[in-house]
Amino acid sequence: MKGMAWVARNRVDQPGRHRELAPGAALDTGLADLARNLHQLSRGSVRKISASGPVLARLPLRRQLSNNTFTAALSPPSRLMVAALSLGWAACLTGFWRWWLAPAHRTSTAGLAVNSAILFYLTCYPFFFVLAVNRLRMVNPALVVPRLSRGTWPSRPCAR
């Protein structure tokens, strides 16, 4: 079991920071101390101790972005141009691989395998860029930035 220095360093004993221990978390008084210790050491993840073992607490729900948070960064004509260029790149890539794997280029199996592996890496690496450009998004400029309450920013710049 961890010492008090660990508890103080990780601030697990501060009220309001973690989930509360469930009422009746342990039926036996010896288990009650164990339940409290497990609750503190797990930072609120262990809710109670049952006959089948510890019961974990539910995790808080994660925040989700709204559907209108992001919008397309490119105008529709630009998006159409990028899509056409992407299709052209895919057609050229397909044509190259058909040419490369033609029987005239097969001098040895090992040479074909090594060169093909290198060429595969070099020709397919731009795929990630093409995919990113086709899905390019930006924060919707129509969204309103929430106003911060007074006193959250320093009144003057910090001295260095």
Q: Give per-residue burial for 76-90: e unless 16+ CB within 10 Å, then b.
A: eeeeeeeeeeeeeee
Q: Are residues 48 and 75 in the same domain?
A: no
The reply to whether 100 falls in a domain is yes
Asked if 82 and 120 sit in the same domain, the reply is: yes
For range 107-132, the mean pLDDT = 92
For residue 64, is it within any domain?
no
Stronger pLDDT, 110 or 27, i.e. the higher one: 110
Residue 117 confidence (pLDDT): 95
Model pTM greater than 0.85?
A: no
Same domain (yes/no): 50, 93: no
Asked whether the predicted pLDDT for residue 34 surpasses 70, the reply is yes
Burial of 19 (0-12, 13-18, 19+ CB in 10 A): middle
Task: Decide if 91 is inside a domain.
Answer: yes
At 158 the pLDDT is: 52
Q: How confident is the model at residue 38 (pLDDT cuts 50, 70, 90)?
A: confident
Higher pLDDT, 30 or 100: 100
How many domains are there within the chain?
A: 2
Q: Is residue 130 part of a domain?
A: yes
Q: Which is higher by pLDDT, 8 or 109?
A: 109
H helices of the chain, in order, are: 4-10, 29-41, 76-100, 109-124, 127-134
User: What's the mean pLDDT in 88-113?
Assistant: 92
* Within a domain: 97: yes
Mean pLDDT of 55-79: 83
Domain that holds residue 43: 4-56
Q: How far apart are CA 122 and CA 117, in angstroms?
A: 9
Cβ(12)–Cβ(43) under 8 Å? yes
